[in-house]
Structure 1
Amino acid sequence: MLIDSHCHLDFEALSADLDGVMARAALAGVTGMVTISTRVDNFSTYAGIAERFENVWCSVGTHPHNADQELHIQTDDLVRLSAHPRCVAIGEAGLDYFYDDAPREAQAVGLRRHIAAARVTGLPLVIHSRAADDDMAAVLEEEAGQGAFPFVLHCFTAGVDLAQRALALGGYVSFSGIITFKNAEEIREVAKLVPADRYLVETDAPYLAPIPHRGQSNEPSFVRHTAEKLAEVRGITLEQLGAETTANFGRLFSKTGLS
């Protein structure tokens, strides 16, 4: 049993064939998934997908690429929308200095508003962090000093330092299909170090399809390939990995009722 903790079912590559996507996921042993928000203004779309499928949940948040376009979204807005029964997380929000699609100041403002919403609601914050390790760690540590909040570093692509600092704050780390790529040795080393009760698997579909589907549009059923590689890296069976990641998902995304 596997759960895709992060995908984007509203993106056209998946939304055009949602019934097929769900059927293939079931055949691959994927029993649940979270469709992740990238724009709060589109929340009704995410919620509608989650309402349609009993094993799909959603989040509410603004991707850092869109941070400057949703500066009108306040913490209270996130808290209010997150009360939807199918909404189980805040985000994704964070810092992306690789693309810098939005001013860094806007990204930081958005991240802190999302952290505040996670703190108020107790829902996990789904964090996007790319090429921003030092600033991300500093923000997390500063904010944690003002009150704990649950979070996961999704699609982990950073170094050991950010992972260790996040874990020290009680955070989780989620691994995507990148872990199957030939040049991802540093990420595989991190994957060996994360405690058994603190890691998740995801696709980030429709992006980052794992080997042997690299270059194709990703989908939740492909999380099995990521899980197989992650199990190999950690020296455990796929069955054990499925049990551990499902338990971790239920604990972190407690609103799903799977804990």
Structure 2
Amino acid sequence: MLLAASASAINTLPEATSVHWHGLDVPNNMDGVPEVEPTPLIKPGCYFDYHFPITNPPGTHMYHTHHNVARQEMMGMAGGLVILDPHGSSVDRDYFIMLQEFAVKGLPMGVLEPGSYEVNPLSDDLQFFTMNGRCFPETTPLPVQCGERVRIRLANPAMMEHPIHLHGHQFVVTATDGNRFGECARMRKNTIAVSSGETWDIEFEADNPGNWPFHCHIPHHTANNMTKETGGMFTVVQYCGGSAKTKSCR
């Protein structure tokens, strides 16, 4: 069965933009790179309807701007896109985490002060590292129950590589860039490097109760603006009460 996707991109920015469907095998006029393709540049106050068939297999992808990329993408213009399996899921929990990093204006390195700060997209002196747009302790925990099979989809549309590490468990790498590995090709790891432009799917059995850190292993990336408290690209796999049916923890 061939499915079709339709998305209306309405530009409320003060400048032109576009949408690129990262990792999807779309027609050339829907790919969203107006400088080199027959794809329209969406001007302020205008919109464009993207239409294309879904020919990729089920998997994890992204979408992001592909115009004035250094500015727009580093201000967070990106999101996740998951092609679901029409036959259902093989996991009990399915999480998506987008990794991003930001610099801000007017806040010296090593200082945290309440206030509103403007993102500085053209700086590579990055201060804040996020999961789904938030720094720890404001990131969302990942609840699990004993005995569950858990999938975490990791996506990185931004600039830096992030080695993501899970405490207390080993995981299996099941897919990359929306392409699933066969059983014999899967790696068993507890840390995986997610480079710019990549998506990775990892799966693990929730068999070791507790609150387990899940974070980037670059030390500066687990601090908010280089302050001493834990922060940045960090969340927790959090066991809830009870167990999944017919399964138990050790």
Query: TM-score by structure 1 length?
Result: 0.24
Structure with greater helix share of residues: 1
Bigger radius of gyration, 1 or 2?
A: 2
Query: TM-score by structure 2 length?
Result: 0.25
Structure with greater strand share of residues: 2
